[in-house]
């Protein structure tokens, strides 16, 4: 399956927010958007290409955000989204505001998050930098070289 052509980075970010956090309050969607933005920032600052260097690369990098994985049931849904979907319109507004710098980073530089109640291996021994909605956010996770 090939991905549908997507308009721009705001659109891709909004689709990622819909796939990852559509059930979260606006603050939760903003926090997930900041995780993506923080990964782009760190890629530039540290010259680490692991996540990608643009919003689109970070969002669509395999196995980073499950909604873009080929086998994820949300993949076809996010590619088919239109402005008719209210949650997608909210995600578009969040994406625009975060990318424009109108929303401060509530995650304190987080590059990772997970749903409360789960404990992925990478979070072992880590202290969340923020708890927003149903997610815990982390700013102390080492990225691969």
pLDDT in tens, 15-54: 999 999 999 999 999 999 999 999 999 888 877 777 889 9
Its domain, for residue 87, covers 9-108
- DSSP 3-state assignment of 76? helix
pLDDT in tens, 58-71: 999 988 899 999 99
Q: Would you say residue 1 lies in a domain? A: no
Structure tokens at 123: 């979070």
- Please, which residues bridge with residue 113 across strands? 137
The number of folded domains in the chain is 1
pTM of this structure: 0.91
Give the number of other CB atoms < 10 A from CB of residue 110.
Answer: 25
pLDDT at residue 144, rounded to an integer: 63
Q: Would you say residue 62 lies in a domain? A: yes
Q: Would you say residue 141 lies in a domain? A: no
pLDDT in tens, 87-143: 999 999 999 999 999 999 999 999 999 999 999 999 999 999 999 999 999 999 877
């Amino acid at each position: 399956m090939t991905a549908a052509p997507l308009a721009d980075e705001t659109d891709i970010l909004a689709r990622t927010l819909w796939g990852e956090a559509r059930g979260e309050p606006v603050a939760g969607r903003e926090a997930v958007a900041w995780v993506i933005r923080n990964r782009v920032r760190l890629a530039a600052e540290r010259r680490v290409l692991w996540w990608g260097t643009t919003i689109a690369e970070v969002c669509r990098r395999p196995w980073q955000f499950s909604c873009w994985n080929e086998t994820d049931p949300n993949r076809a849904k996010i590619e088919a989204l239109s402005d008719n979907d209210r949650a997608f319109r909210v995600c578009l507004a969040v994406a625009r505001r975060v990318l424009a710098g109108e929303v401060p980073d509530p995650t304190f530089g987080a590059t990772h998050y997970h749903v409360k109640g789960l404990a992925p291996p990478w979070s072992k021994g880590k202290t969340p930098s923020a708890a927003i909605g149903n997610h815990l956010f982390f700013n102390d996770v080492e990225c691969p070289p």
